Amino acid sequence: MDSSPSTDDPHPGEIARLTLQDLAREKKAPTPLNYARTYARYSGSNTDVVLHKIFDLLEVCTQLEEDEWTGKQVEELRGYLSQTALLTENGVSGTMDRILEETLARNKSFSQEIHHRKVEVNQTVSHLNEIIGEAHLLINQTSMRLERSLDRFNVVKSLDEARPIFLEIIDQSKSLLVRFRAIGEEFQEAHRRLMSSTIEANLDPLTGALNRRGFQKRLGSSVGVEVVVMIFDLDHFKELNDRQGHHQGDLVLKRVATLVTGFLGDTPSIFSRWGGDEFLVLFPRKSLEEIVSVAEEIRCRVEQARLGVRPDPASPDRGMTISIGISAGRMANEHLFDRFYNLADQALYLAKKEGRNRTRAIHLDDAP
């Protein structure tokens, strides 16, 4: 029986039968990959194109250290591969193609950024090594000169002979100190660039929490699961800045961030300083009830810490408090995050309106 592709357009069921028949004759296991390639001979679908994109995707993924979002997309694609008999129906092929295009675009961008960062880091590390090498060489050269000067100093027979040698030693020491000061400044600048290339790109420099950029990079790992978004800010923070100055305000922000980070511990969450005195925490795979109790515990701990209180008994400061807004539901895609954020912001507004220092929540299913 000739199993070459037909010019007719057979029913998908007939194509599936012919596909399995060919696999059996060719003694190939009916894996999703073998099935899809064989099926494509009859259906005329773009399965090979899709599979090539999968290989491209895997190549890009090998360049990334970790990306939970991509892992979820690959899992979804694996589920579609078992439905290859429907590639020409119900838009499955188009759906697979869209997922792959989005995933490839996202990860190619990440890969390029990571490569750029690695180049910056390698250049800076090389510069640091050069500075250290120069300092080591300078120490050896100066030590040799000082040793020679001291040898001469040990054999002099009068103060007049000793004076120029002594002045030479002083000049050599001064030159060494000046050069070491310059090396120290150069080292600090290189270290600053190194930190900027590796850490500060994704972290808030004041609190150490993720900044918006860092948060957005991790957001994709929560797509497709139940999430809870918690927003909180400091009550009357502007008044604290006005009374005690921005330095004290920054100190309070750092202490709040440290307190929250310590409380969250190993809890799966994404903690970010969203801007000013506003912070955001995303909890994947958590229920609203669970996180309301967590939020209340955080709120109480901040209140009990009496942050920003001055020792003066007449001070109007009674300790910093926070107001919290929460939203919850299933995050079907990253674009839905804006909806979660807006609902949490509405809940935060209610907490402020009702007197501050309290928690309010809105579930996605209950929102208008």
- Cα end-to-end distance, the chain, whole Å: 62
- 308 torsion bin: left (phi>0), alpha (psi -120 to 50), beta (else): left
Q: What is the pLDDT of residue 361?
A: 96
- Residue 205 binned pLDDT confidence (cut-offs 50, 70, 90): confident
How far is the C-alpha of 44 from the C-alpha of 51, rounded, in Å?
A: 14
Instruction: Round the average pLDDT of the chain to a whole number and report it.
Output: 76
Choose the most confident range, by mean pLDDT, from 48-62, 175-189, 272-286.
272-286
Q: What is the pLDDT of residue 256?
A: 94
Does position 3 have pLDDT exceeding 50, yes or no? no
Do 326 and 288 contact (CB within 8 A), yes or no?
Answer: yes
Does position 325 have pLDDT exceeding 80, yes or no? yes
Query: Stretch 170-179: mean pLDDT, rounded?
Result: 74
**pLDDT, tens digit (0-9, with 9 covering 90-100), for 27-71:** 877 766 667 667 767 666 555 566 556 656 665 655 554 455 555
Q: What is the pLDDT of residue 145?
A: 75
| Higher per-residue pLDDT: 116 or 159 | 159
- Work out whether the CA dihedral 262, 340, 251, 254 comes out positive or negative: positive
Does position 311 have pLDDT exceeding 70, yes or no? no
Do 362 and 248 contact (CB within 8 A), yes or no?
Answer: no
- Residue 259 main-chain phi, psi, to 5 deg: -60, -45
Q: What is the edge-to-edge ordering of all strands in the sheet holding 322-330?
A: 270-275, 278-284, 226-234, 322-330, 359-363
* CATH superfamily of the 212-366 domain: Reverse transcriptase/Diguanylate cyclase domain (3.30.70.270)
- Work out whether the CA dihedral 34, 59, 223, 263 comes out positive or negative: positive
Q: What is the pLDDT of residue 110?
A: 57
Does position 343 have pLDDT exceeding 70, yes or no? yes
**pLDDT, tens digit (0-9, with 9 covering 90-100), for 141-172:** 777 777 777 777 777 777 777 778 778 777 77
- Number of C-beta neighbours around residue 226 at 10 A: 16
Name, in order, each residue with C-beta under 8 angstroms of 276's C-beta and a sequence gap of 6 or more. Answer: 233, 237
- Residue 217 binned pLDDT confidence (cut-offs 50, 70, 90): confident
Range name among 80-89, 158-167, 312-321 with the lowest pLDDT average: 80-89
Q: What is the pLDDT of residue 362?
A: 94
What is the longest distance spanned by two Cα atoms in the chain? 115
- Number of C-beta neighbours around residue 319 at 10 A: 13
| Higher per-residue pLDDT: 356 or 36 | 356
How far is the C-alpha of 210 from the C-alpha of 274, rounded, in Å?
A: 8
* Domain map (residue ranges) of the chain: 12-111, 115-198, 212-366
How far is the C-alpha of 35 from the C-alpha of 250, rounded, in Å?
A: 61
- Number of C-beta neighbours around residue 321 at 10 A: 18
Do 281 and 270 contact (CB within 8 A), yes or no?
Answer: yes
Query: Stretch 231-251: mean pLDDT, rounded?
Result: 90
**pLDDT, tens digit (0-9, with 9 covering 90-100), for 15-39:** 777 878 888 888 877 766 667 667 7
Query: Stretch 80-107: mean pLDDT, rounded?
Result: 57
* Single-letter amino acid code for the residue at 214: G
How far is the C-alpha of 368 from the C-alpha of 354, rounded, in Å?
A: 21
Task: Report which DSSP code applies to 129.
Answer: H
Q: What is the pLDDT of residue 86?
A: 44
Tokens of 297: 């515990």
Q: How far is CA 332 from the centre of its chain?
A: 21
